[in-house]
Amino acid sequence: MLRYQVCHKKFEGGWSVPFTRELFATLSAVALLLYDPLRDQVVLIEQFRIGALEHAETPWIIENVAGLLMPGESPIDAVKREAIEESGCEVLDIEPIYEYLASPGNSNEYLYLYCGWVDATAANGIHGLTEEHEDIRVLTITTKEAFAMLQQGKIKTAHTMLALLWLQLNQERLKAKWQKK
């Protein structure tokens, strides 16, 4: 946590009075929706999330593969690493979705969001790094089931919501692109 004393230019002209803001400083992050266009399936993961203890019916959250971007690592390398660590899937191709500030009111976290082509038959089991205390279950479901979960409010993370909504808009284009390879 960092505490800043700041002032800024105002829209109406002039400067604001000095005020205090706290910032949770963190590394940038990556998230990847794993999609198999040949089987029309997505691979999601389920894991314990401390931030969900007070705001969800369960702290076990269904979401995309995601993780922190290590210093000197490219976002593409990071999502490929996370895909293997958290799902056992090798990414065959990647499509950028969005880059955004996750919660700019109190954090500097910048998130790189992608969709990755995978073979969903390779996704199963329990994954994660022991040293990070990860216990990650892989879920392979049809896109229709994933879109229904989104509509039912079962998806609780913004990066997963955004990726699934994006996939609804881009699914046919991705199928055509990746089925040709």
Active site residues: 132
**Residue in 169, 181, 170 with CA at minimum distance from that of residue 93:** 181
> What's the CA dihedral at 96, 102, 108, 109 to 10 degrees?
-60
Residue 155 near residue 161 (C-beta atoms within 8 A): yes
> Are β-strands 65-68 and 93-101 bridged in parallel, bridged antiparallel, or unpaired?
unpaired
CB atoms within 10 A of CB 50: 7
